[in-house]
Structure 1
Amino acid sequence: MPSAVRFGVNYTPSEGWFHHWLDFDPDSVRADLDSIAALGLDHIRVFPLWPYFQPNRTLIRGRAVEHLVQLVDAAAERGLDVNVDGLQGHLSSFDFLPAWTRTWHRRNLFTDPDVLDGQAAYLRALAAALADRPNFLGMTLGNEVNQFSAGPHPDPDRATEDDIDRWLTRMLAACEEGAPGRLHLHAEYDATWYQDDQPFTPGQAARHGAVTAVHSWVFNGTAQRHGRASVPSEHHAAYLIELSKAWADDPHRPVWLQEVGAPAPLVPPEHAAAFTEATVANALDCPGLWGVTWWCSHDVSRDLADFPDLEYGLGLLTNDRAPKDTARVLERAARATPRTPEPRTTALIVPADPARRSLCAPGGPVFDAFFQLTADGARPTTVLDTRADDPAHLGARGITEVVAPDQVLPTP
């Protein structure tokens, strides 16, 4: 664990969005990074687009990799560490998958031997290209790749839990082979924690890789049900951080809040700063937090078509690199004197069976009970039902009280 919580941003280039890799402009990138560093942030997460970097299964474009290295070096000059996502994958409602996995070459992303070979080679190559850069944090396998494995994706690559377990093991090993000893991890959207038929499971999220990553978005039903300024909305990120700890084998495993943002219109722009301030403060009240990485750095230009409307305004900075009120909130948090939160001693029981994880989703009894406890000032964490009577596990986590949802919620 770092001595203090890390503060960073998911880097969305102000010019050309992630299509900037096609006509990479180092001067534009440097200007973007200057505007990020000016906020006192210490890291960025960057997104090579997989089809641009590996357009053929046996072709990893050297020039594209050189551009990635240039970006990482430019970040180093500004005191920024860099995490690199590999298999993009899915970003802001668009899928970016190479042609050698689709249509006439349709092959499963998680089980086909040739695809696995290509993915592993690609991840290994990116990691190896950055292995000697001191500011390279490590690889994330991809951005929310679990969305390809089940509905509601319109054309999912179906896989079993065992398939995904093998896939995660192999891909993380490829990253480690390329850059030994770095912080390699995987990251999924919240269906991993909430959707019963997802083959990416909470146990995998909390046990594979160097840290557990959570992505918190209140457009998942939380803000619709409860409103932008409610306890569930303002504590949703903290909930996912604490929910993830139930499945971790290491009682002190760090958790990275790798994506969180203020999506309009559920969080209107005039209320985004207040939402940001509350979300960050509540996340910082979670022990074992590795870092907070806001989504995102710069707005998407309105010159680009067909994004969901909320995507255009999620930046801390405008398309012209001017900081918004939300940027100032994150800047204050990043520059504040770090504090160590007290242990969370009350644990809410959650089902270990991933086929019952929807009980933890918005509207489920675990979700509702957690926020009832939070509203009552209890600062809850979570524990699996299979560990609720294990004194060694509870003691290692500092848990002194265990409660079930039906002990918290009113009787119907």
Structure 2
Amino acid sequence: MDSITTARQVRFGVNYTPSRGWFHHWLDFDLDSVRADLDAIAGLGLDHLRVFPLWPLFQPNRTLIRPRALEQLGELVDAAGERGLAVAVDGLQGHLSSFDFLPAWTQTWHRRSLFTDPEVVDGQAAYLWALGAALADRPNFLGLTIGNEFNQFSGEPHPDPDRITPGQAADWLHRLLAACESGAPGRLHLHAAYDAAWYQDDHPFTPAHAATIGAVTAVHSWVFNGTAQRHGPYATATAQHAAYLVELAKAWAVDPHRQVWLQEVGAPAPHIAPEDAGRFTEATVAAVLDCPDLWGVTWWCSHDVDRALADFPELEYGLGLFTNEGRVKPAGRVLAELVAAARAEPPRPRPRAVALVLDLPAEASKRSVTAPGGAFFEAFMDLAATGERPAVVLADRASDRDHLGARGITDLITVDTAHR
């Protein structure tokens, strides 16, 4: 019980979106511009960045990993370190803000599975190893995430997916995480899925993959997934969505104290109006800080997308903590205040003594029950709306006294009971 209630320093960071050129900045890398962005980020009191090398630019051919690109990534990591910022690097980009970035050696005339073709997977492993090896001696390098929401290439709604089974997904994850560890031993290496892994029936990347493979569990919380549309911008469900994902992730973990990283969360307009972004930021962060075993919060994103760049979904342009010109926005000011308060008095979340029982098998083929509108999701939010602080426990662990005791769970509620 003591380990649950002990105060701890939560990491606070931001997903770095360069103010000049977005992620295309790797094509004409300008370290002075990067330094100016990092000065602004450090000024908010944040302690880390998540950065995104574009895979086709770093590995344009299966056997060519560009040395100069690796050097530029190292220069960015060093510049961050000079400002007290640690850096986590996402490898396979992959997919960002509705755009796919896949190298030519995986597409059209060279089309082959991103997950099961032996040469493609060998190439991916070599690339991730090279990223890790290039950064392994830098003390502010946190580790590698295999890629940004790479699971979206494995099924709907992607227009041209490479279909795989859950077993093939697990094999791919283990192979690539081994490459990350080989390149940079002992760092924080993990994988990150968008919420299909938690919510979409029959998706090949499963909650068990997310919660048992890699150093920590990553969750990405976006209320445009039906939560805000169904409940509205001011509802408990909208404010608690990120905390719900953290607690859902903990249910699937074998280790009762496996840490969860809220790796992406943001205030998307029009679902969250710009004038409400500060309020939403405060409510969301307060809710997740009330979750035991939280590794950290990494906001999406640092800077707005320049409107000179075309064809982004409208909501992607205004997600930054800073405008494209570098002015701090309301969400940025609120986040800085929350970070300062958490540094002054580290969170000490009490155990979540009441747990809602989730009756799903390990493969979670019908996991939409946990999605917005699903019976389990709505029961959790009904409890939260009354002031309860529910945890989540799988039905097959509901009689495991050691597991319940380690998490501080004393009472169990079923979905049917919660809805009465």
Q: For this structure pair, what is the TM-score category when the shorter chain's length is used for normalisation? A: over 0.9
The Cα offsets for residues 316-362 of structure 1, whole Å up to 9 and x where unpaired, read as 00001110111011101111121211010111111332112111001
Alpha-carbon shift at residue 33 of structure 1 (Å) = 0.3
Correspondence 1:399 to 2:404: no
Counterpart Cα distance in 1 of 2:359 and 2:104: 40
Question: What is the aligned length?
Answer: 410
Match of 2:322 among 294, 313, 317: 317
Conserved? CA contact 1:54–1:61, under 8 Å: yes
Which residue does 1:364 correspond to in 2? 374
Alpha-carbon shift at residue 79 of structure 1 (Å) = 0.3
Gaps of 5+ in 2: none
RMSD of aligned Cα (Å): 1.0
The Cα offsets for residues 38-87 of structure 1, whole Å up to 9 and x where unpaired, read as 00000000000000000000000010010000000000000000000000
The Cα offsets for residues 236-291 of structure 1, whole Å up to 9 and x where unpaired, read as 00000000011100000000000000000010101111011100110101011100
- SS in structure 2 at match of 1:86: strand
- SS in structure 2 at match of 1:186: strand
- SS in structure 2 at match of 1:83: strand
The Cα offsets for residues 115-164 of structure 1, whole Å up to 9 and x where unpaired, read as 00000000000001000000000000000001100100000010100001
Which residue does 2:59 correspond to in 1? 54
Alpha-carbon shift at residue 389 of structure 1 (Å) = 1.4
AA matched with 1:346: V
Counterpart Cα distance in 1 of 2:103 and 2:401: 49
- SS in structure 1 at match of 2:261: strand
Q: How does 1:277-288 map to 2 (within 5 A)?
A: 277-288=282-293
Match of 2:280 among 275, 282, 288: 275
Provide runs of 4+ in structure 1 moved above 2 Å: none
Which residue does 1:346 correspond to in 2? 354
- SS in structure 2 at match of 1:235: helix
Alpha-carbon shift at residue 3 of structure 1 (Å) = 3.6
Counterpart Cα distance in 1 of 2:409 and 2:397: 11
Alpha-carbon shift at residue 378 of structure 1 (Å) = 1.6
- SS in structure 1 at match of 2:252: coil
Alpha-carbon shift at residue 392 of structure 1 (Å) = 1.6
The Cα offsets for residues 223-246 of structure 1, whole Å up to 9 and x where unpaired, read as 000001100000000000000011
Counterpart Cα distance in 2 of 1:211 and 1:87: 18
- SS in structure 2 at match of 1:274: helix
Which residue does 1:66 correspond to in 2? 71
- SS in structure 1 at match of 2:271: coil
AA matched with 2:310: A
Conserved? CA contact 1:351–1:357, under 8 Å: no
Counterpart Cα distance in 2 of 1:261 and 1:384: 28
Match of 1:238 among 220, 224, 243: 243
Counterpart Cα distance in 1 of 2:207 and 2:355: 17
Identity %, equivalent residues: 70
Correspondence 1:385 to 2:391: no
- SS in structure 1 at match of 2:190: coil
TM-score under structure 1 length normalisation:
0.98
Which residue does 2:215 correspond to in 1? 210
Q: How does 1:5-404 map to 2 (within 5 A)?
A: 5-336=10-341, 337-353=345-361, 354-404=364-414
AA matched with 1:366: F
Conserved? CA contact 1:150–1:197, under 8 Å: no
Counterpart Cα distance in 2 of 1:100 and 1:295: 30
Alpha-carbon shift at residue 403 of structure 1 (Å) = 1.0
Counterpart Cα distance in 1 of 2:34 and 2:159: 34
Counterpart Cα distance in 2 of 1:352 and 1:368: 16
Gaps of 5+ in 1: none
Counterpart Cα distance in 2 of 1:19 and 1:378: 45
AA matched with 1:70: E
Counterpart Cα distance in 2 of 1:138 and 1:182: 5
AA matched with 1:348: L
Which stretch has the larger CA shift, 313-322 or 348-357? 348-357
**Greater relative CO, 1 or 2 (CA 8 Å, sep 6+):** 2
Conserved? CA contact 1:130–1:179, under 8 Å: yes
Conserved? CA contact 2:290–2:347, under 8 Å: no
TM-score under structure 2 length normalisation:
0.97
Counterpart Cα distance in 1 of 2:113 and 2:247: 33
Counterpart Cα distance in 1 of 2:348 and 2:47: 19
Counterpart Cα distance in 2 of 1:349 and 1:339: 26
